[in-house]
């Protein structure tokens, strides 16, 4: 096991089997579009972006309201060889004891660690409003990802995509 990055004072661990893990806070991400391509900023999030880095096969972005995804900073993508965007993720929220599967669906800022979609937060029974939800305690959420392994969430397989 080795540390591949330290972001917001938190170490990102590369395990011997190739998966990564880290403990961090949970900011709520509302990015993405509805299936018809219309913006979904129903919470009036001032940081909202209509697109996610990961795209569906038809070119549309993920939808934070309906799809369980996490956001990773570029250092995680650059720290391993296999493709990270679209890979399997698992998130455990210590506040409720809930665990859910997700996809790595977006790339965030370099200096930010610990962000998940509205739908992912709902599954963890965490406050999910992007303006005042999430959890600011950096010891409450365990994130794990499996680079190179396409995510399967709710029976849907996501494509692995190299990040631009």
Which two structure tokens, joined as six digits, stand for 14?
């590369």
Average pLDDT of 110-123?
96
What radius of gyration do the chain's Cα atoms show?
A: 14
Triad 93, 134, 128: Cα angle to 5°: 100
Residue 81 has pLDDT above 90, yes or no: no
Distance, in Å, from the CA atom of 76 to the CA atom of 89, rounded to the nearest integer, reads 13
Give the percent of the chain with pLDDT over 70. 99
Give the global pTM: 0.95
- Predicted confidence at residue 164, as pLDDT, reads 65
Name the average pLDDT for the chain: 94
Q: What is the pLDDT of residues 27-79, one digit of tens each?
A: 999 999 877 777 788 899 999 999 999 999 899 999 999 999 999 999 999 98
Whether 160 contacts 151, CB under 8 Å: no
DSSP state of 149: E
- Taking CA atoms, 106 is separated from 2, 95, 163, in Å, by 24, 24, 9
CATH 2.130.10.10 fits 2-157, yes or no: no
> In the chain, pLDDT over 90 holds for what percent of residues?
86
Alpha-carbon distance of 139 to 151, in angstroms, equals 25
How far, in Å, CA of 116 to CA of 48, rounded? 13
> How many CA atoms lie less than 13 Å away from 55 in the CB half-sphere?
10
């Amino acid at each position: 096991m080795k540390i591949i990055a330290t972001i917001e004072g938190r170490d990102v661990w590369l395990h011997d089997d190739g998966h990564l893990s880290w403990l961090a806070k949970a900011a709520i991400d509302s990015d993405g579009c509805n299936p018809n391509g219309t913006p979904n900023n129903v919470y009036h999030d001032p940081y909202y972006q209509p697109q996610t880095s990961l795209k569906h096969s038809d070119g549309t972005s993920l939808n934070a309201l309906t799809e369980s995804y996490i956001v990773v900073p570029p250092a995680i993508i650059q720290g391993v060889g296999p493709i990270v965007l679209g890979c399997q993720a698992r998130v455990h929220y210590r506040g409720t004891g809930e665990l859910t599967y997700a996809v790595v669906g977006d790339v965030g800022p370099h200096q930010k660690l610990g962000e998940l979609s509205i739908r992912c937060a709902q599954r963890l029974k965490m406050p999910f409003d992007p303006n005042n939800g999430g959890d600011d305690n950096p010891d409450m959420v365990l994130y794990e990802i499996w680079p190179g392994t396409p995510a399967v969430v709710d029976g849907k397989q996501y494509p692995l995509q190299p990040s631009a």
